[in-house]
């Protein structure tokens, strides 16, 4: 039986992207463009698939935890930069 986690990753990323899409229909405070959805999709899928890679390739629990923590921190830093521009890069939002 094949591993079904990649399908779960794609489904989860899609469901997470539906949240702002639905919110845009009910409030003017959520105003995402297609570029925002593409960037968020790439970030979510990239992090999810990187997590899958870590879980498949790293066998030691301690190293898995370290690698997953680093991945999570990188994901959160990139997300925060794209959302509010905490580092002041040209990609930062506001």
Question: Taking the C-alpha atoms of 56, 44, 76 and 32 in order, what is their torsion angle to the nearest 10 degrees?
Answer: 180
pLDDT tens per residue, range 49-82: 999 999 999 999 999 999 999 999 999 999 998 8
41: containing domain: 5-84
Q: How many domains does the chain have?
A: 1
Q: Does residue 22 lie within any of the structural domains?
A: yes
Rounded Cα gap, residues 32 and 67, in angstroms: 31
Nearest one of 74, 42, 68 to 55, comparing CA atoms: 68
Residue 22's pLDDT is 96
The reply to whether 94 falls in a domain is: no
The pLDDT assigned to 3 comes to 78
Distance CA 59, CA 74 (A): 21
Residue 1 has pLDDT above 60, yes or no: no
- For residue 24, pLDDT beyond 80: yes
User: Does the residue 72 lie in any domain?
Assistant: yes
| 92 lies in some domain | no
Q: Pull the structure tokens for residue 44.
A: 């979510």
Is 90 within the bounds of a domain?
no
* pLDDT for the residue numbered 54: 96
């Amino acid at each position: 039986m094949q591993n079904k986690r990649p399908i779960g990753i794609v489904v989860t990323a899609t469901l997470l992207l539906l949240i702002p899409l639905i919110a845009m229909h009910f409030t003017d405070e959520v105003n995402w463009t297609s570029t925002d959805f593409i960037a968020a999709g790439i970030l979510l899928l990239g992090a999810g698939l990187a997590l899958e890679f870590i879980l498949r390739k790293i066998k030691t629990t301690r190293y898995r935890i370290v690698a997953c923590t680093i991945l999570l921190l990188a994901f959160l830093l990139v997300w925060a930069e794209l959302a509010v521009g905490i580092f002041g890069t040209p990609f930062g939002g506001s």
